[in-house]
A and B are shown apart, each in its own frame.
Chain A
Amino acid sequence: DQQVKQNSPSLSVQEGRISILNCDYTNSMFDYFLWYKKYPAEGPTFLISISSIKDKNEDGRFTVFLNKSAKHLSLHIVPSQPGDSAVYFCAASLYTGKLIFGQGTTLQVKP
């Protein structure tokens, strides 16, 4: 039972444009949602999070939007930079510190 899904395995955008990564979840009890970025040969790095009681959180070029009615969240990166090329994981927490991850989306930002 995949509670967190990232349906797009890959995304390619031009440098300077917006990157939008999507994530869907099934469990309405999740209390926190997070985005992690992963480069090859490194562990996932925390990027940004959002509490289930909010609908938007912004940190520099990164903004996460949460639509609870649709059980959907998205990560917007504006403007996209070549250094943003990585695998992005969406994750959800169930009040327990246990993170449930999606399958990941590989973002390629072309110069």
Chain B
Amino acid sequence: DAGVTQSPTHLIKTRGQQVTLRCSPKSGHDTVSWYQQALGQGPQFIFQYYEEEERQRGNFPDRFSGHQFPNYSSELNVNALLLGDSALYLCASSRGTVSYEQYFGPGTRLTVT
């Protein structure tokens, strides 16, 4: 049973550029949530996708956007990258939008220089 997968593993971008991160949920899961984990901090909720729509959003600017595809996989896009966007980006999947049982992928380490 494949768990949550994310790509790429690591990414280095320059300030001002745009980046796209990808996530495939665990088999049987239909909801994907994205979290940002800065160094030394806990994960912070960015947004959640269900039925190809953004259902909830955390306190992140519009530079952060996403998409969910019919096969439940998801993308996180960040525009106009800032140095402060350097973090580990985690994808979590679950069954339904109110499930607290979320399974996390290994994350994508984004470095903005």
Contact = CB atoms under 8 A, between A and B. Distances in A.
Contacts of B102: 46, 97, 99
Contact of A99 (B4, B41, B45, B96): B45
A97 B31 contact: yes
Interface in B5-48: 31, 33, 35, 40-45, 48
Contacts of B90: 43-44
Interface residues of B, number: 28
A94 B87 CA distance: 25
Contacts of A104: 40-42
Interface of B: 4, 31, 33, 35, 40-45, 48, 56, 58, 90, 92, 94, 96-107
B48 to A, nearest CB: 6
Interface of A: 4, 6, 31-32, 34, 36, 41-46, 49, 89, 91, 93, 95-104
Given A43-B105, A45-B104, A46-B101, A97 B96 contact: yes
A49 B4 CA distance: 20
Nearest to B47: A98
Contacts of B43: 44, 89, 99, 101
Shortest beta-carbon contacts, A-B, top 8: A101-B42, A43-B104, A93-B100, A32-B100, A97-B98, A44-B104, A101-B43, A43-B106
Contacts of A6: 42
Nearest to B37: A101
Contacts of A34: 100
Contacts of B31: 97
B30 to A, nearest CB: 12
A103 B41 CA distance: 5
B100 A97 contact: yes
